[in-house]
Chain A
């Protein structure tokens, strides 16, 4: 897609600021409309007032020097206003009167409360953010998908890199997995997330990638050449009847677009056959009626919330998935995560990070509908949850450290708009539109590699 072909390494501070500002204002509009709040009741939370006002802003830490790794606490929260809402000022927020909440830096929130002294905004109520609608299909399309499947379930395998152990470059596990994919699993499609060759792998850093046994004898001069000589042949072995979807990681050596949102791989330059499709990171696409949203940036690890009450007792992944759906962005944290290593002499070395290209973060929004299935691979333990009727999947990594990890198979019962079961929900009799209810028809298995 063209929009993702932006040039990297040219981030302007004012463009970054525009995006940050717009995120607040567009949420303010959504909240006004949803809660039917007259614009006059929206006020600036930073100035003293005897009356309660509604306001919208971004959760930020109270100190500019707070490192992103540090978990905030209820006393260290500030609310940042937009240019329009409060000339960009930030105000300390008091959340002690809330019985439950979950806040993280970068989150856009709507509050009702008051600021009696001018020093602190006392939050009385957190405004619910409305969810986007579910995708729907008409009867003709659904019947077509049903016929295509010939009664069987639609089967998709999902796996995520790294595909090599963390101590050496070795693709034998992936090679044997491809064999299993072709002979045992036999899915209709496979979604593979990068990194395929992780640029932060220690064997790349010290150059010892040259000692990989399979390539001895062949003259490979670059990492891109290595991909084509070692990884492409393995991927090519995937049965041509299986549709393969590749989603890059910003740590993929083969990608020159090292920022999120990230442009797709180039299928031709990877020398991959036509059953391969390369999509951007993040992106959404349909497999039959099923709308799948994918993002290859670890929101489940990076969103660290401060919470209280019932919401805090919920499963953490449910809570974070809910935030993603509410915020309508695949990676709602700001600033993005950083990975560093502290040497024995106390020097801090930069390793990698979320690498957010802020001016283009609009490309990481969920747009007009929720996905049926949301897949975000994470370093955290694999899981499958249903949140707001969205099937949320972390397939886990193909290899964790040096050990075989996990992958996922997603099977979806074919849609049957003519059946009596409540597998589909008819929302409009005239147009014969149906909500997919994938969560009712899907079965997700997490399997050890």
Chain B
């Protein structure tokens, strides 16, 4: 299927690399605190315990609905952003950034607006590949097996670059045995969170290969 066309390349790279450009999931707690949720890993702002996700500010556990509603809102925002249909010219000297599309699609309207002159190629700014990656990233946050293997995208992407002793400590924050236990304890609830992402995967055209486009070489 279509996935196989992508996977050999993309699945080889780590989540840290693959999801670098993906927007993070920001959660708001009942106490008003905001934090970036990065799955089961060490964070100064939240902790995953045997009973769920807790805010470190006030200690409250975030309810499932509180989490899924914010997650779904983020997904829908990205789908809508995708459908805003911004396009861009690849010629740096032109740099047109617009939502207008020429009847030729890839031809640039140019700064004159007359659709003549610029030889640049137009393409969507937010590609379906990026949107698909964004959904995959959000799904990965609740992937307990990835969390166990410590393969999640780190909360601070640049942590590895600055090998300060502090960040080294941080990484060891949760011991492997605790991680294993947390993963098992949260498996079912996290699967329910993943189902919110899967609702959109079922819709996502990128998941399904378009046979016509494969065999049409015109």
Contact = CB atoms under 8 A, between A and B. Distances in A.
Interface of A: 6-11, 13-14, 16-18, 20-21, 24, 46, 60-65, 68, 78, 80-83, 88-92, 199-200, 203-210, 215, 219-226, 250, 253, 256-259, 335-336, 338, 350-358
A6 B200 CA distance: 13
B202 interface: yes
Contacts of A355: 79-80, 83-84
A90 B114 CA distance: 4
A232 B155 CA distance: 39
Interface of B: 27-28, 30, 62-70, 72-73, 76-77, 79-85, 87, 96-107, 109-111, 113-116, 122-124, 128, 131-132, 189, 192, 195-196, 199-200, 202-208, 210
A86 B208 CA distance: 37
Contacts of A208: 30, 66
Contact of A13 (B28, B77, B97, B122): B122
Contact of A90 (B83, B109, B128, B203): B109
A17 B102 contact: yes
Nearest to A84: B103
Contact of B114 (A18, A78, A210): A78
B204 A8 contact: yes
Nearest to B78: A350
Contacts of B109: 64, 90
B204 to A, nearest CB: 5
Given A8-B203, A64-B113, A338 B101 contact: no
A200 B73 CA distance: 7
Given A64-B110, A352-B80, A355-B79, 11 more contacts: A8-B203, A21-B104, A89-B114, A90-B109, A199-B73, A222-B68, A223-B68, A226-B65, A256-B203, A258-B80, A351-B77
A11 B27 contact: no
Contacts of B208: 7
Contacts of B100: 60-61, 64, 335
B84 A338 contact: yes
A355 B68 CA distance: 22
B192 A221 contact: yes
Nearest to B110: A64
A225 B195 CA distance: 12
Given A82-B103, A83-B103, A83-B104, A259 B79 contact: yes
A350 B66 contact: no
A207 B70 contact: yes
A220 B65 contact: yes
A305 B206 CA distance: 37
B101 A9 contact: no
A209 B96 CA distance: 41
Contacts of B203: 7-9, 256-258
Contacts of A220: 64-65
Given A9-B131, A65-B98, A90-B113, A207 B69 contact: yes
A357 B79 CA distance: 11
B140 to A, nearest CB: 18
A221 B69 CA distance: 9
Among B27, B69, B107: residue with most chain A CB under 10 A: B69
B110 to A, nearest CB: 7
